[in-house]
Structure 1
Amino acid sequence: MADLPRKAARRTARLAALPLGYAGRSALGFGKRIGGAPAEAVMTDIQQRTAEQLFRTLGELKGGAMKFGQALSIFESVLPDDVAAPYRDNLTKLQDSAPPMPTSTVREILARELGADWKERLVWLDGGPTAAASIGQVHKGRWHDGREVAVKVQYPGAGEALRSDLKQLSRLARTIGPVFPGIDIKPLVEEVQARYEDELDYRLEAEAQHAFAVAYADDPDFVVPDVVEHGETVIITEWLDSAGSLATIIAEGTTQERDHYGELYTRFLFASPGRTGMLHADPHPGNYRVIPNEDGTPGRLGVLDYGAVARLPEGTLPSAMGSLMRLAKLADAEDLMEGLRREGFVKPNITVDPELVLDYLSPFVEPTKVERFRFSRDWMRAQFQRINNPREPGYTVAIKLNLPPSYMLIHRSWTGALGVLSQLGAEAPFKAICEEYLPGFTRPVDDGDPARTG
């Protein structure tokens, strides 16, 4: 423990060096251009080296740095092709990997969390990790009743590292911005900060995962491994065999696989709140595992990692959300604006053009206007450009809208899911899924409020 201050100082120094490294490479690139090197080749080289340093550092540091990188990775689809190419491989690597901790440390943590007799219950433990997350790693094991299990163990000092990383990243948000052009870094850091304490407590994760496992027991489309045992920093669940994650489908899947698993991914996002009262709020592809049928055709979708869930007060997605999307789909700008003010998205003293708000919300609404919608990187980039380019009318809307705390994880999950669907290039019946699972979308909410009933 005495070494923690020195480790924290080294971590802080490495994070602080990220923007400096970018600045140094940019200066070197400028010198190369003066020397006659083509500007395009120089910029590609700078982006490649910057991406490698950024995501290598984030992955090695784990904690908040890696968690921030994972959150960033699902928005890769918004980058222009000439910028995205150098980043894509490094981003994808970060979705599923991190350096391991020693097995001896894992065994020490198991003894502390599960008791000295833990080996009588966990009769076999693989010496090396099978997967890594931002604050822990997973080993394959065997329970005393013969079941294969996944043993997730939190990294020692993960809490301190997470807090330190996020504090440093918050300070560096402005200067890290040029490393990842076109994405507003500060809100991502703030969102991760807002929920990190819950994710550190594996008891809360176990509670959520068990609830999902019960709700999806014997489901024909989805698999949620149940919890076998847990402590504060250890969680043991049933093992899930799969052919890889959605990241594999993004990289090399067929059109049939992209459409099939993209539709299941969307259905789980919309349907699970009604079944569990919670929203799985960590949409990055590594949490979703593909399980082909015996004949090799696309099959079920396994869903892992319940550290980040939104516990919904209404026991499902807010009915106001469906009502607002319905009004936006109908292009009812005035009633939409009234509903946004009522829900706290627009504060009383703020004036904003209702028509611009309609345009701003189109990424969420456009897929509901056709029977089947094909997501793509080009579409996602166009939406992103429209609301992030200062020369576009919709740019001013973003700074005038407010995100109520109760919608924070919902918004993060939805925007992240749009990014993943665009990476997949999936075609899905988005409209029908909203009609089936989103309260208030197909008809007004009749509670006596004329703004709600439209």
Structure 2
Amino acid sequence: MRKAPPRSRLVRGTALGRLAAGQALRQAGSKVAALGRSGEEKRRLLDRRALEAADQLVSVLGGMKGAAMKIGQLLSVLDLDLVPESVRPEFRRKLAVLLDRAPAVPFSGMRKVIEADLAAPIAEVFAEFDENPVAAASIGQVYRARLADGRAVAVKVQYPGIATAVRADLKNLALFLRLAPDLFPGLEMDSLAREIRLRVEEELDYRLEARTQHDLATRFAGHPFLVIPDSVGELCGERVLVTEFVDGLDFDHIAAQPQPVRDRVGEIVYRFYCGSLFRTGDFPGDPHPGNVLLRPDGRVAFLDFGLFKRMSPESAALERSVLRAAADGDAEQVHARMTAAGILGEPGRIQPDEVLAYIEDAVGWYLADAEIEATPELAAEAMISSIDPRSPHYRKMRWQYLPPEHLFARRAELYTFGLLGRLRARGNWHRIAREWLHGEEPVTELGRIDAAWRAAQEPR
């Protein structure tokens, strides 16, 4: 069993420092060791070193939990060309441990959190309680239990001391952001730091997550192809969240299904995460494989709403306006709307066609009117085009100033595309997007089913 994650900012910062230094030394050592070897020997050596690096990432980041683990979660969703192609599937499999099979904390410590938060012994609250976690993620573990009325529930419990540990991560992040303008000059670092701090503080408060999840469960009650398990509000505290238990195929098993199943799940995933963003302006900010299950009845269940973003109506309207113009190929309108919103602080430094090219490379997968098979490689290219200094757009897009809520929207899109890439789902994502960007009628069967359901929910 693993002990509880370290809380000290110095200890956690040092752990990350050792990890970064270790990776640098390992890469340098691999290059030196490869000298004088045959091509096949070099390949095997680099493959072995890459997998050793994945093991170390899992060990260090998984043991820290908290915000640091989000790095590993990102790497396990997107293929960012970090390791040789021959070992990428194994590399991704190792990092996937950080999603929902992270090293467990002993139950004795978790019991104290549960009983303190609920102000009662476990036996008085639950008729049955399985002490073996069914999932472990960045700030908590999930257990299966049964209430006295027979309902099966999932009990998410924060790791002891995780709030202190995460706040230490945030202080280290603040130090990093002092240097970040040189790396990502298009971001408003002070407001970004405040936004991240606010979102993380919200994620640490399970009472807020319980209310969000209940609102979504109510909103989507009776939906024909997606389901949100409701929270049990009277049993939710700051560090304990009790929800309806849902079972189904996990993401790895979904990815092994026939193409039509993967395409259908991919469209549902896209509609839920990106459709929510553009239809209502509020959306889950953490799309990743551990939060998606395929139910036996064919519906897709979505989990984990700790990181949830509510955009202002003005920001949501701007999103639709800019992307509608980009989908229509209107570079002048894209440039004008981004300038009017203050995103292009020095509009003369970048031409309209350059702005449009940047957007097309980042989200072209749903701007192009064509059937596209999502792949991990395409998702990686979209990520690199958006944030990586290696991107051909990087020098020009230094002159944009992206407000944090729009950054969270891009994050949700990129993570969603990462999920579609893992599924290798096929679809004309543009035609689906036209429903919420242009207000057009749906052209897919799922779209028509969803539209009929939404129409039935409207007050008469």
Cα 1:62/1:411, change in 2 over 3 Å: same
Q: Is contact 1:15–1:169 with CA below 8 Å preserved after alignment?
A: no
Match of 2:246? Answer: 240
Match of 1:447? Answer: none
Cα 1:21/1:170, change in 2 over 3 Å: farther
Shift of 1:366: 4.3
Segment of structure 1 superposing worse, 205-214 or 265-274 = 265-274
Q: Is contact 2:76–2:93 with CA below 8 Å preserved after alignment?
A: no
Q: Is contact 2:104–2:136 with CA below 8 Å preserved after alignment?
A: yes
Shift of 1:304: 0.5
Q: Is contact 1:281–1:308 with CA below 8 Å preserved after alignment?
A: yes
1:327 is aligned to 2:325: yes
| TM-score, normalization by structure 1 | 0.83
Encode CA deviations 1:38-71: one digit per residue, 9 max, x unaligned: 4433332322211221122111221122133223
User: For 1:51, what is the secondary structure of its paired residue?
Assistant: helix
Shift of 1:87: 2.6
Match of 1:307? Answer: 306
Gaps in structure 1 of 5+ consecutive residues? 176-183, 294-298, 443-454
Shift of 1:8: 5.3
1:213 is aligned to 2:214: no
1:262 is aligned to 2:263: no
Match of 1:40? Answer: 43
Match of 2:57? Answer: 54
Shift of 1:145: 1.2
Match of 2:357? Answer: 359
Q: Is contact 1:325–1:365 with CA below 8 Å preserved after alignment?
A: no
Match of 2:337? Answer: 339
User: For 1:128, what is the secondary structure of its paired residue?
Assistant: coil
Give, as a single letter, the amino acid of the residue that structure 1 aligns with 2:12: R
User: For 1:146, what is the secondary structure of its paired residue?
Assistant: coil
CA distance in 2, matches of 1:22, 1:77: 16
Encode CA deviations 1:325-346: one digit per residue, 9 max, x unaligned: 1211222111110101122321
1:6-405 → structure 2 map (5 Å cutoff) = 9-34=10-35, 36=37, 38-76=41-79, 81=85, 84-85=88-89, 87-116=91-120, 119-168=123-172, 193=197, 195-228=199-232, 229-244=235-250, 246-250=251-255, 252-273=256-277, 278-293=282-297, 299-314=298-313, 318-348=316-346, 351-362=349-360, 363-370=362-369, 372-384=371-383, 393-405=392-404
Match of 1:437? Answer: 436
CA distance in 1, matches of 2:125, 2:390: 62
Shift of 1:350: 5.9
User: For 1:76, what is the secondary structure of its paired residue?
Assistant: coil
Shift of 1:302: 0.2
Q: Is contact 2:7–2:162 with CA below 8 Å preserved after alignment?
A: no
User: For 1:242, what is the secondary structure of its paired residue?
Assistant: coil
CA distance in 1, matches of 2:5, 2:372: 50
Shift of 1:305: 0.3
User: For 1:399, what is the secondary structure of its paired residue?
Assistant: helix
CA distance in 1, matches of 2:384, 2:324: 24
Equivalenced residues, count: 422
CA distance in 1, matches of 2:311, 2:178: 33
Shift of 1:308: 0.6
Match of 1:450? Answer: none
Cα 1:166/1:83, change in 2 over 3 Å: farther
CA distance in 1, matches of 2:313, 2:290: 29
Segment of structure 1 superposing worse, 139-148 or 414-423 = 414-423
Match of 1:410? Answer: 409
Segment of structure 1 superposing worse, 234-243 or 22-31 = 22-31
CA distance in 2, matches of 1:54, 1:31: 22
Cα 1:341/1:214, change in 2 over 3 Å: same
Aligned-pair RMSD on alpha carbons?
A: 3.3
Shift of 1:90: 2.0
Q: Is contact 2:62–2:98 with CA below 8 Å preserved after alignment?
A: yes
Q: Is contact 1:247–1:286 with CA below 8 Å preserved after alignment?
A: no
Shift of 1:409: 1.9
User: For 1:235, what is the secondary structure of its paired residue?
Assistant: strand
Q: Is contact 1:78–1:384 with CA below 8 Å preserved after alignment?
A: no
Give, as a single letter, the amino acid of the residue that structure 2 aligns with 1:66: M
Give, as a single letter, the amino acid of the residue that structure 1 aligns with 2:30: G
User: For 1:50, what is the secondary structure of its paired residue?
Assistant: helix
Cα 1:115/1:249, change in 2 over 3 Å: same
Shift of 1:256: 2.0
CA distance in 1, matches of 2:19, 2:109: 30
Cα 1:389/1:8, change in 2 over 3 Å: closer
Q: Is contact 1:278–1:310 with CA below 8 Å preserved after alignment?
A: yes
Cα 1:93/1:440, change in 2 over 3 Å: same
CA distance in 1, matches of 2:389, 2:402: 20
Match of 2:451? Answer: none
User: For 2:127, what is the secondary structure of its paired residue?
Assistant: strand
Shift of 1:235: 0.7
Give, as a single letter, the amino acid of the residue that structure 2 aligns with 1:92: A
CA distance in 2, matches of 1:5, 1:277: 36
User: For 1:71, what is the secondary structure of its paired residue?
Assistant: helix
Cα 1:69/1:167, change in 2 over 3 Å: farther
